[in-house]
Amino acid sequence: MAMPKDIRIVDTFLDLPYKKEVTPLTQRFEGLRDADAKAGSHEHPAGYLFKDGPKGRHRGADPISDTLHEMDKYNIEFAQVSVQTLDDPVVNEALTKHRGRFIGTYTPDPNKGMEAVRDMVRAKEQLDIVSISMFPAGFNPQVPINDKRMYPIYSKCIELDIAVFCTSGIPGPRLPYECQYTGLVDEVCWFFPDLRFVFRHGCDPWADLAVKLLLKWPNLYYSTSAFAPKHYPKEIIEFANKRGADKIIYAGYYPSGLSLDRIFGEMVDVPFKDEVWPKFLRENAMKVLKLEGRR
């Protein structure tokens, strides 16, 4: 039951710190309307949810070396980092010079149509991305999980042989949630059986529905991003221990909202069965992201 110490972990949500001049929330999420959010009361988009809110992720003198040091402390072999633009020199250096440690996930904007598809191709060619990341509520205008604007993105993922990580559940920023309703993935998994689709950010409050869909669709997975281990949904833990050991993938939230100290300090108390741990911490991500042989 105890978490093993010898597994080389794949973290599917671990980012390099941002530059100090963080983009204001009202620019990152143009749909914000309430006065508190527009006034920038919280540095983190979901800061109001935390008793002691996340302090941001500012870059120090050597963000790559600092991040590798943190990864080595906790035996993390691969970290999937966000590619917001193709011209970020720090992210570019991490993904090209440290290919055996960092892997990229790119966020295309489905509102851009074929330009977004071309951006995906460039990201694959330049940075060898292994997935894309979608935040339906964060696009402006919002784009539901099963919207027609998403379909060219999904199709290209199959062609490029890369996975999709997609936020599902009530969003942290104060934005409408309907576009992220967990049930919307049903149509996507049916129409694209070759697409490797990974839930992100908990599917809260529809974890029970997520379990039903994970059981139904062979190409659907669930990652634990943004949730401290002590808050992993009980439905997900039970599913992993019974029939879903091959479907649950570890994802942290460093440095966006959780420290690795906290994550792995709490991880020891997660009641996974012995046979679940290797799959959860490594094997499922290696399979979904096709990382075998990458060093």
Read off the DSSP letter of residue 219: T
What is the spatial distance between Cα 262 and Cα 271, in angstroms, rounded to a whole number? 17
Residues 286, 219 contacting (CB under 8 angstroms): no
pLDDT (tens digit, 9 = 90+) per residue, 49-88?
Answer: 666 555 555 556 689 999 999 999 999 999 999 999 999 9
Q: What confidence tens digit (pLDDT) does each residue in 227-284 have?
A: 999 999 999 999 999 999 999 999 999 998 899 999 999 999 999 999 999 999 999 9
CA distance 271 to 273: 6
pTM above 0.85, yes or no: yes
What domains lie within the chain, and their CATH numbers?
A: 9-289 (3.20.20.140)
Q: What span, in angstroms and rounded, lies between the C-alpha atoms of 200 and 222?
A: 7
| Measured distance CA(270)–CA(139) in Å, rounded | 34
190: confidence class by pLDDT, cuts 50, 70, 90 = very high
